[in-house]
Amino acid sequence: MTKRDYRKVSDFSTEEIHHLFQLALTIKREVKERRFVPRLADKNLAMIFEKPSLRTRCTFELAMRQAGGNGLYLGPSEVGLGKRESVYDIAKNLERWFDLVMIRTFAQKNVDDLAVHASIPVINALSDAEHPCQAMADFLTVLEKRGSFDGFKLAYVGDGNNICHSLITLTAQLGCEIRVATPDGYQPKEATLVEARTIAAKTGATILITTNPVEAVEGVDAVYTDVWASMGQEAEAAERRKYFLPFQVNAELMRAANPGAFVMHDLPAHRGEEITDEIIDSPQSIVFDQAENRLHAQKAILVYLDELR
């Protein structure tokens, strides 16, 4: 079969996403029972990192090890995408040694170029455009907690960044409702909204973009936030804070949501900025469940892409 990549959320169909959720839940049960099924026996994953990470490195390495394979970390000094060596040459080397490759990078073009030139599956472990593996883990967590996505309403409050893009698209594919509240000028990219609304027209999903956080949060089942300045935007942090302060997820804002609404964050969190300690440490918070499920969602993605080769 022709190899598949996971460069962005929409690379998988709705049917495939549901299959991956069930596979991830099966894999999670196996891990909890200390049954490490060798679904990726003797397979090798190249892990390219241009950005540092706690969750991405730990979960991909553990996923491969628990499935009987190996993950090899390749940092900026070893690879130097497009600087020390062209993406084409890197792809052609990696495909001779590895079975799969994941990349955590800045430019989405690096992900796309690697996928074009490599004959092995390429997984986007984060780019400036999308964070698809995180979104899969997020909705896997929601499925665990609720049992289904029927009537699920999600509010995203903060910067219209990579995780926001992935959440919008995945919500559309699952036929749910998402409301995104950002300061004016920090909305998600129009191309993402066009794609998501095209999908939503088929699935019955609802997408609302607003600059009013209360409007977004009112009556929802989960409230999601992220850092106000992502990696590579550190120089903008002080300026952004002026605009984002009214978008902090705190007790006052959460009162507009449904009672018991989940609190979500992809981590790392800047406590006291986009979210308060009171909220992220509350019984409603499922942020560490999300982090745990990175391991299981990503293992399902790895297994599925390897099976399709």
User: In this structure, what CATH number is given to the domain that contains residue 48?
Assistant: 3.40.50.1370
Q: What is the DSSP letter of 189?
A: P
What pTM was computed for the model? 0.97
pLDDT tens for each residue of 171-218: 999 999 999 999 999 999 999 999 999 999 999 999 999 999 999 999
Tell whether the model's pLDDT for residue 268 goes beyond 80: yes
Beta bridge mates, 153: 177
Tell whether the model's pLDDT for residue 237 goes beyond 70: yes
Query: For the chain, what is the mean pLDDT?
Result: 96
Same domain, 119 and 156: no
Position 290 scores a pLDDT of 98
Same domain, 63 and 160: no
Tell whether the model's pLDDT for residue 243 goes beyond 70: yes
Same domain, 284 and 183: yes
> For residue 124, what are its two tokens?
């986007």
Tell whether the model's pLDDT for residue 1 goes beyond 70: no
Note whether residue 173 is domain-resident.
Answer: yes
pLDDT tens for each residue of 67-106: 999 999 999 878 877 677 899 999 999 999 999 999 999 9
Same domain, 231 and 255: yes
Q: What is the domain range of residue 168?
A: 133-290
CA–CA separation, 258 and 51 (whole Å): 36
Position 233 scores a pLDDT of 73
CA–CA separation, 299 and 64 (whole Å): 7
Q: What is the DSSP string of 243-259?
A: HHGGG-B-HHHHTTSPT
Same domain, 118 and 14: yes
Same domain, 187 and 108: no
Question: C-alpha dihedral over 201, 206, 290, 33, to 10 degrees?
Answer: -60
CA–CA separation, 165 and 171 (whole Å): 10
Q: Span 24-46, mean pLDDT?
A: 97
In this structure, are residues 35 and 62 in contact, taking their beta carbons and an 8 Å threshold?
no
Residue 185 three-state SS: coil
Note whether residue 52 is domain-resident.
Answer: yes
Task: Give the count of domains, the chain.
Answer: 2
Position 230 scores a pLDDT of 77
Q: Span 255-283, mean pLDDT?
A: 98
In this structure, are residues 207 and 168 in contact, taking their beta carbons and an 8 Å threshold?
yes
Tell whether the model's pLDDT for residue 228 goes beyond 80: yes
Beta bridge mates, 138: none
Place of tokens 């609404």: 261
Position 231 scores a pLDDT of 67
